[in-house]
Amino acid sequence: MFAKAPSHSTALGPGCAGPPLANPQQLSSAQASAHERGSHQPSCGAAPFAVDASMLRSTGSQPHKHTQSPYVTGSSVLAITYAGGVMLASDTLASYGSTKRYKSVQRLVKVNDSTVLGAGGEISDLQFILNMLDDLKTEDYCADDGQSLSSQELYSYLSRVMYNRRNKMDPLWNSLIIAGLEGGKPFLGSVNMIGVAFSDDHLATGFGNHLARPLFRKRHRPDMSEEEATALIREALEVCYYRDKQSINKFQIAKVTASEGVSISEPFALPTKWEYKAFVDPTRNAVGVW
Amino acid sequence: MFRNQYDTDVVTWSPQGRIHQVEYAMEAVKQGSTAVALKSNTHVVLATLNRADSELTSSLQKIFKVDDHLGIAASGLISDGRSLCKFMRSECLNHRYVYESAMPVTRLVREVADNAQVCTQRSWKRPYGVGLLVAGHDKSGPRLFYCCPSGNYYEYLAHAIGGRSQAARTYLERKHEEYPDASLDGLIGHALQALSASLAEGELTATSCNIAYVGRDQDFKELDEASLQPYIQALRDAEGGDGGGGADGAAPMES
């Protein structure tokens, strides 16, 4: 068969941009050797996951460089299930270090008709992930059989990609939440930069894990109405906004429901109140101050 | 077939616009033993005929489980069938690894067909000599495909391939309206009827045929001899009941 143009480096595996194989006879050319014993290249899996050791070695006098730290980052993403749908929320900030550099970056993205991806962490890595997901979508479109990847399948795919990249010591520096409807039931899955993946009724990434999830644990029910869910999400956003300095008051909420599919709101601001005593004089009553 | 100057390789057209090598490959499918497949709204059933050359040998395995949700019946050059089966297993396994889900039947069949097509366009290759009936169940329900050495694939409600399969197809066409609502037992009954219609001589026994099925909430499963016996018995009873024609014994197990 004609080798399909891979979306990622055949040498480094899924999610790895990089040079092609140093020794292509061994691993590519599905055309010539697809049926020789042991050399079959599946359409997914083996080819993108195979590693060409020579590509991992340093090139010339320069060492092989990997992402050591993120540069432009997004903060928390929050997600909850409710009766008949899922809801995600995040702000639209991309920080450059501590600088609030880009204030209108959409971090909730529609992946297909039943799935939304929410991402924190390095924004360029997010864009790279979105390119890969776009390739998957194109494959579905080209197959023209009316089938597309479900949110659970995308969650599985992304967890493989993230884990694969961390094993290359070159992680994609993101925390991801995949949300959608799986057979009519709400589904939430979370994958982080080292490939830890789990699914739950409510999820949050980054600071949201510490600030929003306690609220969710207390208040979330799977049978919440959409109004209740919106109220809970807005409250959690407010809590995150007050306490996370790497956030701005410009949020988006995404929903996936059976009736309306994916909808992502326009950015909006929450009413805030900064006159609380603890905000006005944060060190009052603290130990060791006067 | 007739020898001519345009059939020595697969990349030469005949003036009539035919690729003789590909047509020969499709003839090879007819050299195999009969394989029958049919589906209802919930299940797909595969049935093959065993043709032991000697009393001292076992017969070739012609039904292969590819994955929990999918299996194939091969007719023609079974060694080619095994090679394709290995390919399909590998594809399904990798799909499960990456997506943690069963590979859609349509996608797998297309991969197989793409493979077969390459062999019809390369001078140093030969087309596969095997026809595959692919039975599977995925999110879209039960699916039945026939993969041809030419690289074409067709979706069927019911189909039979291999030697003397015309008789089986005639039976399948005559009864096709009953299949969508048939029970699993009913489908197996129809499969055996079709199979016995294609028999040259003798009667169908539990050792001379194989049955496998897959369906909603039912992993691909091949029946062993003991569990096949009741179906054979029902077939006998039905044949005895209406004078051996077998035409009314459509769903012998449903009574």
**Does the residue B255 lie in any domain?**
no
Residues of B in contact with A143 (CB under 8 A): 106-107, 110
Q: How far is B169 from chain A (nearest CA, A)?
A: 27
Model pLDDT, residue B142: 97
- Tell me if A44 and B98 make a contact (CB, 8 A cut-off): yes
CB < 8 Å & 24+ apart, contacts of A27-34: A27/A52, A28/A3, A29/A3, A30/A1, A30/A3, A31/A1, A31/A2, A31/A3, A31/B118, A34/A1, A34/B87, A34/B115, A34/B118
Bridge partners of A190? A177, A198
* Among chain A residues, CA nearest to B82: A35
Model pLDDT, residue A12: 58
Residues of B in contact with A178 (CB under 8 A): none
Q: Cα dist. A247→A106, A215, A266 in Å?
A: 13, 18, 17
Is A67 an active-site residue? yes
- Tell me if A152 and B110 make a contact (CB, 8 A cut-off): no
Report d(CA B167, CA B149) in Å as an integer: 22
Containing domain of residue B189, as a range?
20-229
Q: Please give the tally of structural domains in chain B.
A: 1
**Does the residue B161 lie in any domain?**
yes
- Tell me if A150 and B83 make a contact (CB, 8 A cut-off): no
C-beta separation of B90 from B123 below 8 A: no
* Among chain B residues, CA nearest to A48: B98
Report d(CA B11, CA B22) in Å as an integer: 10
pLDDT tens profile B144-173? 999 999 999 999 999 999 999 999 999 999
Residues of A in contact with B98 (CB under 8 A): 44-45, 156-157, 160
Q: How far is A103 from chain B (nearest CA, A)?
A: 34
CATH number for the domain spanning B143: value is 3.60.20.10
> What angle do the packed helices B78-99 and A151-167 form, to 10 degrees?
80
Residues of A in contact with B94 (CB under 8 A): 42-46
Complex ipTM: 0.86
- Tell me if B99 and A143 make a contact (CB, 8 A cut-off): no
Which entry of A10, A67, A138, A272 is annotated as an active-site residue?
A: A67
Name every residue whose Cβ is closer than 8 Å to that of residue B30 and which is 6 or more positions away in sequence: B76, B161, B162, B163, B165
Report d(CA B36, CA B143) in Å as an integer: 14
Q: How far is A92 from chain B (nearest CA, A)?
A: 30
* Among chain B residues, CA nearest to A183: B139
pTM: 0.83
Per-residue pLDDT of chain A (290 residues; tens, 9 = 90+): 444 444 455 555 555 555 555 554 444 444 444 444 445 555 655 444 555 555 566 566 666 666 678 999 999 999 999 999 999 999 999 999 999 999 999 999 999 999 999 999 999 999 999 999 999 999 999 999 989 999 999 999 999 999 999 988 889 999 999 999 988 899 999 999 999 999 999 999 999 999 999 999 999 999 999 999 999 999 999 999 999 999 999 999 999 999 999 999 999 999 999 888 877 887 877 887 76
**Does the residue B248 lie in any domain?**
no
**Does the residue B238 lie in any domain?**
no
Q: How far is B116 from chain A (nearest CA, A)?
A: 8
Q: Give the one of A1, A2, A160 whose C-beta lies nearest to B98's C-beta.
A: A160
Residue B249 amino acid letter: G
Q: Give the one of A1, A31, A153 whose C-beta lies nearest to B101's C-beta.
A: A153
**Does the residue B63 lie in any domain?**
yes
Q: How far is B56 from chain A (nearest CA, A)?
A: 31
- Tell me if B115 and A31 make a contact (CB, 8 A cut-off): no
> What angle do the packed helices B184-197 and B165-175 form, to 10 degrees?
140
- Tell me if A31 and B139 make a contact (CB, 8 A cut-off): no
Q: Domain boundaries in chain A? A: 1-65, 74-264
C-beta separation of A225 from A83 below 8 A: yes
- Tell me if B104 and A150 make a contact (CB, 8 A cut-off): no
pLDDT tens profile A248-271? 999 999 999 999 999 999 999 999
Superfamily the domain A74-264 falls into = Aminohydrolase, N-terminal nucleophile (Ntn) domain (3.60.20.10)
In chain B, which residues have pLDDT < 50?
Answer: 243-255
Model pLDDT, residue B59: 85
- Tell me if A42 and B83 make a contact (CB, 8 A cut-off): no
